Structure 1
Amino acid sequence: MDKLLACATAFHNLLDVEYRIVLGRKNQLTELHIRFEAVHFHHLMGLGKLKDLQVATRNRSQIFGEILSGSFSYRDIAISDFVGQIENRFSPLSQIETVFDNNNLVFRYNERLHSFSMIQADFLLSTPIDGNDIYVFLVKNDNDENYFCRSFFPKETTDYTVGQTKYALLYKEKIKLSTGEKEIQYDRLNKDK
């Protein structure tokens, strides 16, 4: 399978999923509801970095649809002089559901600790996949109480977790939105009940 299509397919599988995560710190609970929208794939894949191609500025939802239909593929972006900047995202993004299913490290993200970075986020998830940590930066949606993925990439030289406030994962469930089916993935809240 085309590796760009593999990433888009993996992300498409999450469009009908919500993760509900309950975190604890200093006797305070924080609840996150994470959802996924087709328009977010473009940024997570890093397609905006391909500045020498029209894909960088084209309609994000339309590009996502073209990738899923097979009319736009890795071959179309491989000609970019900047494709090397996103090569490290293909393997982890094709496993994005595994990243979310396995995650158990959550940090409140303080962007001032990484002033060299342009990333603006509320929370940072860190999950090891294939021997490397994958970072997922979450931001609260302005329109509702849900969070979405602002950025997604594997750890390279910078450890974005250093100095960040770590939260204890207390509960995590995966909800299939179309059916309401729930899968409890982690539960420290009810283990003694």
Structure 2
Amino acid sequence: MGRDILLMAAQAYKNLIAVEYHIVLGRKGNTFDLNIVFMPENFYHLAGFHKLKQRYSFQQRTSTWILEHILNGTVTSDVIASDKNFSILEERLYSLKILEQVIDAQETKFYSYDKNRVAFATRITADYLAKGMLANEPIVFSFFVRTDKKYCMNSIFQETAYDYSTRQTQYTVLLKEKKVVSKGLVSSVELYRHNKYAGI
């Protein structure tokens, strides 16, 4: 992983801010709609800045400010590269870098998530869990919580010895749509439709 991974992750996340996914999940004859959006204010936690050992002046700023200043080059990986926990950030940042590909991929699996069913201690609370199965890339776990009528990501990292999907309820992906807003124009593409799903 190169030391410019901070910028690459920020660029990838900025692209996702203009994206909304509509995913229809099914289980035992029931369907569930998962509308996923990406908010600038979530970037700080997703990038893992809370894991840094040392304290840095930029941490007093908002998540949106930090994202913008990474993109314009005033906050760089050089500032934190010597931190003892920088390797933890690198893994999270790399996961953010490939996140759009992971969600787009047909191999990605979706589960309802209950931290009380996890086989090990965890503080992560969420409504849904996505387990990325992207060829030749690390397996990525991303967690989604409901905010109003849509879902935002509140954690992301690579698989280690701990599998967060164990004991969770897996759904069948029936439909996956991707809407992108660019320069005021909205484009929508159907990424996947199960051959037994006839819904709109």
TM-score by length of 2: 0.88
1:60 maps onto 2:63 in alignment: yes
Question: Structure 1, residues 154-174: CA drift from partner, whole Å, max 9, x if none?
Answer: 101101111100001000100
Which of 123, 129, 132 is equivalent to 2:128? 123
For residue 2 of structure 1, report the CA deviation from its aligned partner.
2.0
Residue 138 of structure 1 aligns with an amino acid whose one-letter code is F
Which of 147, 165, 174 is equivalent to 2:151? 147
Conserved in 1, the CA contact under 8 Å of 2:115 and 2:125?
yes
Residue 16 of structure 1 aligns with an amino acid whose one-letter code is A
1-structure distance, mates of 2:24, 2:62: 34
Conserved in 1, the CA contact under 8 Å of 2:5 and 2:90?
no
Moved more, 164-173 or 126-135: 126-135
Residue 17 of structure 1 aligns with an amino acid whose one-letter code is V
Conserved in 2, the CA contact under 8 Å of 1:122 and 1:139?
yes
Determine the structure 2 residue equivalent to 1:34. 36
For residue 90 of structure 1, report the CA deviation from its aligned partner.
2.9
Determine the structure 2 residue equivalent to 1:172. 176
Total equivalences in the alignment: 190
1:1-193 alignment to 2 at 5 Å? 2-54=4-56, 55-102=58-105, 104-114=108-118, 116-129=121-134, 130-141=136-147, 144-177=148-181, 178-188=184-194, 189-190=197-198
- Any unmatched runs of 5+ in structure 1? none
- Work out the percentage of aligned pairs sharing the same amino acid: 32
For residue 42 of structure 1, report the CA deviation from its aligned partner.
1.0
Question: Structure 1, residues 55-93: CA drift from partner, whole Å, max 9, x if none?
Answer: 444321111111011111110111222212222223222
For residue 138 of structure 1, report the CA deviation from its aligned partner.
0.5
Residue 170 of structure 1 aligns with an amino acid whose one-letter code is L
CA RMSD of superposed structures (Å): 1.9
TM-score by length of 1: 0.91
Conserved in 2, the CA contact under 8 Å of 1:22 and 1:30?
yes
2-structure distance, mates of 1:184, 1:120: 30
1-structure distance, mates of 2:115, 2:155: 13
Question: Structure 1, residues 139-160: CA drift from partner, whole Å, max 9, x if none?
Answer: 001xx20101010001011011
Conserved in 2, the CA contact under 8 Å of 1:138 and 1:148?
yes
Residue 28 of structure 1 aligns with an amino acid whose one-letter code is N
